[in-house]
Amino acid sequence: MKKVAVIGAGTMGNGIAHTFAQSGYEVALIDLSQDSLDKGLSTISKNLDRMVAKEKITEADKQTTLGRISSFTKMEDGIKGVDLVVEAATENVDIKLKIFKNLSEITEDHVILASNTSSISITKIGAATNRPDKVIGMHFMNPVPIMKLVEIIRGYATSNEVTNQIMDLSKKLGKIPVEVNDYPGFVANRILMPMINEAIITLHEGVAGVEEIDTVMKLGMAHPMGPLQLADFIGLDVCLSILNVLYEGFGNPKYAPSPLLVNMVMAGKKGAKSGEGFYSYTHGTKELVVADSFKK
């Protein structure tokens, strides 16, 4: 593989594009919005600047990496000549199915179609295409350039050949791939999201406050970040979406999202990206401040 396309220039998409480009691949970064593309490229440049400052790469390395990334607002232009497409659009099943159906019609037959979905069935996504054997999950972790894990999810029809190719490719990116089967939430979010949901329920029931819950998990369980802060970092809307996939997929009430989480998302409190979740976020500040809604 020499050239890849990445669909979506948001947090995950620009991180995936950064990682591929830094590993020597030509990258076509595709998004409907030029503004999103500009923001994504700016984020990549800033993240590379941090690596230069830490002397992990040189300024020349940074420029070479940026030079490997081209941006496009039309999918048809961006996918020309690619060997792999990695979709990193919003975690919405209808949007993903539409993207993959379109991709299977406009890409060459040999092109592998991967999704960075964190919970949606790869089998279902593959069934929307004309080549389910070449559809696979590549679930990167955030921040992509730093985190080593990639969950490789086999759909029901995903071929051994494609799985092996993507496992090998992930290693070439400097990642550690772990192969898992296609069940709701896969492994990472099937375990993580119920923990985050339980932390939210614990808060909702008044067992302890935001800082207290996070402190217990950080100091008692050696977590680098408390579950409520992590939820803010992931995005409360994303957490809700994944929990709904788990709840609908298994039909088990233990996956039902907390009413508090549902209300916060409806109220537009989506975490760090919206400026407020369980904590309040002011641009440039390093201090976490509990949101007014949860102060006693």
Q: What global pTM score does this model have?
A: 0.91
Instruction: Give the C-alpha distances (Å, rounded to integers) separating 189 from 147, 163, 167, 196.
Output: 16, 21, 20, 10
Pick out the residues of the known binding site.
8-13, 31, 91, 96, 118, 142, 273
- 18, 104, 139, 276: which is the annotated catalytic residue? 139
Q: Mean per-residue pLDDT for 120-124?
A: 96
pLDDT tops 60 at residue 284: no
Using pLDDT thresholds of 50, 70 and 90, give the confidence band for residue 288: confident
SS3 of the chain: the string is: CCEEEEECCCHHHHHHHHHHHHCCCEEEEECCCHHHHHHHHHHHHHHHHHHHHCCCCCHHHHHHHHHCEEEECCHHHHCCCCCEEEECCCCCHHHHHHHHHHHHHHCCCCCEEEECCCCCCHHHHHHCCCCHHHEEEEEECCCCCCCCEEEEEECCCCCHHHHHHHHHHHHHCCCEEEEEECCCCCCHHHHHHHHHHHHHHHHHCCCCCHHHHHHHHHHHHCCCCCHHHHHHHHCHHHHHHHHHHHHHHHCCHHHCCCHHHHHHHHCCCCEHHHCECCEECCCCCCCCEECHHHCC
pLDDT surpasses 80 at 275: yes
Rounded mean pLDDT of 28-33?
A: 97
Active site residue 118: yes
Two tokens at 164?
A: 């092996």
Read off the pLDDT of residues 55-79 as tens digits, 9 standing for 90 and up: 999 999 999 999 999 999 999 999 9
pLDDT at 294 over 90: yes
Confidence of residue 295 (pLDDT cuts 50, 70, 90): confident
Q: What per-residue confidence (pLDDT) applies to 285?
A: 59
pLDDT in tens, 146-187: 999 999 999 999 999 999 999 999 999 999 999 999 999 999
- Are 236 and 264 in contact, with CB atoms under 8 Å apart? yes
Query: In order of start, what are the domains of the chain with their CATH numbers?
Result: 3-181 (3.40.50.720), 187-294 (1.10.1040.50)
Cβ atoms of residues 30 and 78 within 8 Å: yes
User: Which is catalytic among the residues 121, 189, 197, 280?
Assistant: 189
Which pLDDT score, from 0 to 100, does residue 171 have?
Answer: 98
Q: Which residues are annotated as a binding site for NAD(+)?
A: 8-13, 31, 91, 96, 118, 142, 273
Label residue 198 by pLDDT band (50, 70, 90): very high
Q: What is the pLDDT of residue 283?
A: 62
Q: Which carries the bigger pLDDT value, residue 161 or residue 284?
A: 161
- Calculate what percentage of the chain has a pLDDT beyond 70: 98
pLDDT tens by residue, 130-143: 999 999 999 999 99
Active site residue: 14, 71, 115, 118, which one? 118
Mean local confidence (pLDDT), 241-257: 95
What would the two tokens of residue 286 be?
């390093």
- Is 151 part of the annotated catalytic residue set? yes
